[in-house]
Amino acid sequence: MTDIVSLDRHGDIAVLTISNPPVNALSPAVVAGLTAAVAAFEADRTYAALLVHSSGRTFVAGGDITSFDAPDFSAAPYNDTLARIEALDRPVAAALHGTVLGGGLELALACHWRVALPSTQLGLPEVKLGILPGSLGTQRLPRLAGAKLALDMIASGRSIGAEAARQAGIVDEVREGTPLEVGLAFVQDLLARRVGPRGTSERAVPDEGLPADFFDQALAEAAARKPFYPSARNIVLAVQAAATLPFAEGEAVEARLFEALRVSPESQAMRHLFFAERQAAKIPGLGRELALRPVHSVGILGAGTMGGGIAMNFVNAGIPTVLVEVTQAALDRGLGLIRTHYEASAAKGRLTAQQVAQRMALLRGTLDDAAFADCDLVIEAVFENMDLKKQVCARLGQVCQPGAIIATNTSTLDVDVLAAATGRPADVVGMHFFSPANVMRLLEVVRGARTAPDVLATVMQLARRIGKVAVVSGVCYGFIGNRMAEVYMREAEFLMMEGASPSQIDGAVEALGMAMGPCRMLDMAGIDVGANTVIEYGKAGGLPPDDSYRAVVRRMFEIGRFGQKTGAGYYRYDGRKPVDDPETSRIAAELAASHGIARRSDIGAQEIVERLLYSLINEGARILEEGIAYRPGDIDIVWTAGYGFPDHKGGPLWMADAIGLATIVERLQHYASTRGDAFGYWRVSPLLASLAGKGQRISDFAGTLA
Ligand code: 3HC
Ligand code: NAI
């Protein structure tokens, strides 16, 4: 046997151990090792039973996702081995622990019996990669758990715990101990009971009395709710095959549907994001040996929209948190909103009353910033105003203990200026949370010119602890995300002044899968928030000398149309439903007249998409060439995790490669010539132009933060 897959004797039980750290993914070497081990077991008649388990932190977390890109990829060798395991004439049991996912669960399903540690999580998450389980998971799981639960698990990709799996018939027993101890004891019991092999594929899918049109309904729902994901339809078809066809025919259906998805652009994009997310956590030049600063307690200055949401992240992770405000009223309001949020979660059954009490007990509010003296990390989340932020940063520099990290949640201000204001810039970093901060997965970590490496590394690790996906950005206006959003909003507003309605603009990008178009997005975030950042940027001298620049948001702000919260912004709100408002079109026409912008009636969806998204891509390329982002994938993660950019397009730069960089450059040049380019809006990023000229992909560009 190999180091990766071994077969050892424990009396008359053969113990097969998979050791492929970190997550025992099914690399070709693991598959070869498994096949050899099964052959050895087949040949040795002195064994009474086979136990399959894994060493390390988990059983098998699935197929090796890196291998799916190989043009000659085939699931057949693995599937054949699973068939051989199932056909063994002596009992085979799997001892499960950790995360039993994808091809890992498929291995367990091919075994005759399954025992799991109580903490085990089991699932078929392939849908999150735009594929379906390709090693008979769609055929074997329904035979154990029924078609309804199997379809739910495969379509959602959600995992279930060991006890739930036992109740569903996926696992036979749940036992405490190490996987090896539990597995051996379980197999000894099987032998004592003289039970024999039991092939999952030979079972019938249980009759659950599902309605005759169950699968038709599921197909209709997949088409309506997941129109951009071919996997949604294929998953229903595969489970339907399990429920209606003999196993061998279902197997052929699954293989065909899997292969169609594996080579689909949607799955390639989603696989790109899987690895980009993990890559984003790595900071070039900083090794694992770097000692991190301890973070046992957190302080937050400002209990407004962001401060309260940020506090919940830490409390949810069990970290004591203190909120400091200027007035008792603001503090009470902030703490009250957090309590209301937790109580609402409890009412929906997501938290127990005890958990609510535990979380509130970790949270303290005060008006005295001396409370920060005991904190390891303090995040300021006061109003977005440079003078105020400089003042509070200077104060934090004094009250925070030596070695404590001072972070700012600013969305746009210069982190280096704020760092200097503290008098201890090495301790300062940007932690740009997104609203609602307790929900949104993205965290931009802003690396100042003097941020200490251990501060950066500590914050990246902390991000993981609180369940965020963190991306490092250098210092610039708006960092990665809002800087790109600025050009996107700029074009949305020019299109509005030229005659397009908000719903036309949003509709064009939503048709590509954007969760929300730019007008709905800013109406929800707050026109006041958006306008204020533009105004502050103007004061700092950052805006182009163009009076028409973001003229719509500024006018909306002047007249109190703050978006959804005031019932009108770009749209008018009928409850929460946005409707085009003649007043917006009147304002846009008036602004166009005063700025000499020609109105047109021929603005089509293609032009909207190109102007919004190609500008966004061009800005992303600039961010890369300036070294603001480490890598193209980081930009893709910012937009998919923070701005509702469709994951099936892989993020703006992945999408740029799919469109072709030469096409994008040509269209940018087209708009420069047709719209004029006095302010450099259409100036092509030199990096983009150069890659397009060489026929290279931007996703392959190895950028380095300056
Ligand atoms: N293939 C290849 N590499 C994988 C992998 C996989 N299935 N799963 C994890 N890895 C790698 C990660 O890229 C990462 O590598 P790095 O250290 O070089 O960045 C390393 O393993 C550790 O992963 P995480 O940082 O994600 O570790 P966590 O402990 O946070 O999470 C996990 C562990 C829950 C197992 C998570 O890694 C995960 O969700 N993995 C993917 C699971 C999955 O999608 N399985 C289905 C695969 S498809 C399949 O099985 C097809 C079959 O039906 C034919
Ligand atoms: P907010 O207006 O809801 O809250 C600000 C809070 O700070 C108020 O409760 C105020 O009383 C308090 N405050 C002001 N001065 C203070 C001081 N000296 N000491 C203690 N508390 C003080 O503002 P919001 O939206 O929470 O924004 C805060 C920060 O977060 C800003 O920098 C903003 O740019 C940033 N941000 C906001 C996002 C949003 O969508 N609202 C998204 C991401 C970042």
Q: What are 80's two structure tokens?
A: 């054949």
Q: Is residue 551 part of a domain?
A: yes
Q: What share of the chain is helix, strand, coil (3-state, %, to 5)?
A: 55, 10, 35
Q: Which of 58, 65, 124 to mutate to test the pocket of ligand 1 (most atoms within 8 A of CB)?
A: 65
pLDDT tier for residue 25 given thresholds of 50, 70 and 90: very high
Q: Which residue's alpha carbon is nearest to atom 1 within ligand 2?
A: 304
Count how many Cα atoms sit within 13 Å of the Cα of residue 476 in the half-sphere of its side chain: 21
Asked if 371 and 391 sit in the same domain, the reply is yes
Q: Is residue 272 part of a domain?
A: no
Query: Which residue(s) pair with 405 in the sheet?
Result: 377
Asked if 129 and 211 sit in the same domain, the reply is yes
Domain of 464, CATH number, reads: 3.40.50.720
Q: Is residue 280 part of a domain?
A: no
Domain of 36, CATH number, reads: 3.90.226.10
Q: Is the CB of 383 under 6 A from ligand 2?
A: yes
Q: Which residues have CB under 8 Å from 227's CB, separation 6+? A: none
| Distance in angstroms (rounded) separating the CA atoms of residues 297 and 136 | 47
Helix (H) or strand (E) holding 301: strand 298-301
- Cα 280 to ligand 1 centroid, rounded to whole Å: 15
Count how many Cα atoms sit within 13 Å of the Cα of residue 148 in the half-sphere of its side chain: 10
Strands, DSSP E only, in 156-253?
Answer: 159-161, 173-174
Q: Is residue 360 part of a domain?
A: yes
Q: Which of 415, 450, 473 is the last residue of a domain?
A: 473
Q: What are 99's two structure tokens?
A: 């995360």
Clarify whether 126 is annotated catalytic: yes
Asked if 360 and 392 sit in the same domain, the reply is yes
Clarify whether 106 is annotated catalytic: yes
- What's the whole-number mean pLDDT along residues 336-359? 96
Q: What residues make up the domain containing 453? A: 298-473
The pTM of the full predicted model, rounded to 2 decimals, is: 0.95
Percent of the chain with pLDDT over 70: 99
Ligand nearest to the CA of 139: 1
Helix (H) or strand (E) holding 523: helix 518-525
Q: Is residue 600 part of a domain?
A: yes
Q: What pLDDT, in 10s, does the model give residues 573-599? A: 999 899 999 999 999 999 999 999 999
**What pLDDT score was predicted for residue 342?**
97
Q: Which of 414, 447, 473 is the last residue of a domain?
A: 473
Q: Which residue's alpha carbon is nearest to atom 53 within ligand 1?
A: 133
- Cα 278 to ligand 1 centroid, rounded to whole Å: 9
Asked if 103 and 170 sit in the same domain, the reply is yes
Q: Which residue's alpha carbon is nearest to atom 52 within ligand 1?
A: 103
Measuring from each residue's beta carbon to the nearest atom of ligand 1, which residues come in under 6 Å? 22-23, 25, 61-66, 75, 99, 101-103, 106, 125-126, 129, 133-135, 137, 278
- Angle, CA of 95, 99 and 100, to the nearest 5°: 55
Q: Is residue 293 part of a domain?
A: no
For 603, the 3-state DSSP assignment is: coil
pLDDT tier for residue 470 given thresholds of 50, 70 and 90: very high
**Amino acid letter at 25?**
A
Q: What pLDDT, in 10s, does the model give residues 305-331? A: 999 999 999 999 999 999 999 999 999
- Alpha-carbon Rg for the chain, nearest whole angstrom, is 28
Domain of 618, CATH number, reads: 1.10.1040.50
- Cα 130 to ligand 1 centroid, rounded to whole Å: 15
**What pLDDT score was predicted for residue 705?**
45
Q: Which residue's alpha carbon is nearest to atom 1 within ligand 1?
A: 64
Nearest alpha-carbon partner for 396 in 300, 506, 282: 300
Helix (H) or strand (E) holding 356: helix 353-361
- Cα 529 to ligand 2 centroid, rounded to whole Å: 10
pLDDT tier for residue 706 given thresholds of 50, 70 and 90: very low
**Amino acid letter at 269?**
A
Q: How many domains does the chain have?
A: 3
Asked if 232 and 327 sit in the same domain, the reply is no
Q: Which residue's alpha carbon is nearest to atom 39 within ligand 2?
A: 435
Nearest alpha-carbon partner for 53 in 5, 122, 2: 5
Q: Point out the ligand 2 atom lying closest to the alpha carbon of residue 391.
A: 18
* ipTM greater than cut 0.85: yes
pLDDT tier for residue 703 given thresholds of 50, 70 and 90: low
Instruction: Please give the mean pLDDT across all residues of the chain.
Output: 96
Q: Which residue's alpha carbon is nearest to atom 17 within ligand 2?
A: 326
Q: Is residue 676 part of a domain?
A: yes
Q: What pLDDT, in 10s, does the model give residues 12-22? A: 999 999 999 99
Beta-strand relationship, 113-116 and 92-96: parallel
Residue 2 scores a pLDDT above 80: no
For 629, the 3-state DSSP assignment is: strand
| Distance in angstroms (rounded) separating the CA atoms of residues 124 and 153 | 7
Catalytic residue, chosen from 42, 86, 126, 176, is: 126
Q: Is residue 561 part of a domain?
A: yes
Is residue 213 a contact partner of residue 631, using CB atoms and an 8 Å limit? no
Q: Which of 331, 372, 382 to mutate to test the pocket of ligand 2 (most atoms within 8 A of CB)?
A: 382
**What pLDDT score was predicted for residue 414?**
93
Q: What pLDDT, in 10s, does the model give residues 172-193? A: 999 999 999 999 999 999 999 9
